[in-house]
Amino acid sequence: LAKPSQLSAPEFEIVKEHTSLGYEILRNLQLPWPIAITAYQHHERLDGSGYPLGVMGEEIILESRIMAVADIVEAMASHRPYRPGLGIKAALTEITVRAGTQLDERVVETCVQLFTKKNYVLPAD
């Protein structure tokens, strides 16, 4: 996670395992539903292009659709070892482009409103 350059394909395959590993850890902690499944599905996309299962649409629980949007916004806006933060404006533009195809339109709309109308800000790094 601290690599200062783009991941190779094999490295990305290893990183993708975090959804399954997180699910197993959370499931074993016997946390309330839907915490474990939310972590498991948070990289799924409405069009089936996500992982780990490639499920689509309503097969992805709402909580995971919310986490997917939050994860993209945080990842894009925040600094990473391999690049500076791209800013909230770029992140909101990106989720808006993906709304209705990869991301839930209602979730994206709500997220955009939080930042543009409710003056929400991400905590500083």
Structural contact between residues 112 and 98, judged by C-beta atoms closer than 8 angstroms: no
Q: Which of 52, 75, 80 is nearest to 64 (CA)?
A: 52
When the pLDDT of each residue in the chain is averaged and rounded to a whole number, the result is 95
Q: How much is the pLDDT for 121?
A: 87
Pseudo-torsion of CA 23, 25, 31, 34, nearest 10°? Answer: -10
pLDDT tens for residues 17-26? 999 999 999 9
Residue 5 pLDDT > 70:
yes
Q: Domain map of the chain by residue range?
A: 9-116
105-116 and 88-98 helices cross at what angle (nearest 10)?
A: 160
And the tokens for 36? 């474990």
pTM above 0.85, yes or no: yes
pLDDT tens for residues 11-55? 999 999 999 999 999 999 999 999 999 999 999 999 999 999 999
Q: Which of 112, 110, 103 is nearest to 60 (CA)?
A: 103
Q: How much is the pLDDT for 124?
A: 65
And the tokens for 98? 């993906």
Structural contact between residues 38 and 19, judged by C-beta atoms closer than 8 angstroms: no
**CATH homologous superfamily for the domain 9-116:** Hypothetical protein af1432 (1.10.3210.10)
